[in-house]
Amino acid sequence: TLGAVLTRLIERNTTIPTRKSKVFTTAADSQTAVDIHVLQGERPMAADNRTLARFQLTGIPPAPRGVPQVEVTFDIDANGIVNVSAKDKGTGREQAITIKDSGALSEKERDKMMKEAEEHAEEDKKKREEIDVKNEADTVIYATEKALKEYGDKVSPDEKKKIEDALGELKEAVKKNDTGEIKEKTKKVGEVSQKLGQAVYQEQAGQAPKEEPKEEGKEEKKKEEGEDVTDADYEVEK
């Protein structure tokens, strides 16, 4: 996922057969393809684990980041054969791969993998935190700039300048790769953007379709007049 962080779908020692799915999205505007990197290991960073397979889902319609929904499914049968699929939920477009030899690890290899994970636990935790903080900052920058572009005229020039200045400081902190400063500046952007957030909420609430008032007693009146009214239950299959 974003920042080359491993997202764990199947935990170690999971009983097979098993099936797990997770929905991911795009990291950039107008992104039309996603890479699926299948890994095996215990470390949080993708580069520190063993690659089993790679494939790509293409043909995703261009859209703002975060809008497309790509469902990735791992299906492992009783023989240990792994089927991995990626499906764009919007178009139904799908790509899949079968891993017949996932290279079952020996007890010695498993022990080595676990030992490495333990030895690098603190280092990995720090790396993961740095990436999570940067990812959050990136999301805040993107969302705030988008809101400013669409609703910047709904706040005063002074409020708008405060937000723009805070965004500039956050971008500088990201460039310097200072985790503590990135956290601080991300928080500041959130604080100075509150009025902008209120403006966005009010604007969107005003555009929401209004629910028509129900005509109370209409059904009872129909029944009294002899009109055939049938109550029906329905079932949604999941």
**Residue 134: is its pLDDT beyond 90?**
yes
Q: Is 204 helix (H, G, I), strand (E, B) or coil?
A: helix
**Residue 69: is its pLDDT beyond 80?**
yes
Average pLDDT over all residues of the chain: 86
pLDDT, tens only, 85-101: 999 999 999 999 999 87
Average pLDDT of the residues in 50-54 = 92
Give the total residue count for the chain.
Answer: 238
Looking up tokens 């809101």 gives 147
**Is residue 27 packed enough to be buried (19+ CB in 10 Å), middle (13-18) or exposed (0-12)?**
middle
User: Which has the closest alpha carbon to 21: 68, 67, 78, 89?
Assistant: 89
Instruction: Please tell me the distance from the alpha carbon of residue 139 to that of residue 186, in angstroms, as a whole number.
Output: 10
Q: Would you state the pLDDT for residue 232?
A: 33
Q: Which strand (E) or helix (H) includes residue 188?
A: helix 179-192
For the chain, which domains are there? 18-102 (2.60.34.10), 122-207 (1.20.1270.10)
Other Cβ atoms closer than 10 A to 59:
11
Task: Say whether pTM exceeds 0.95.
Answer: no
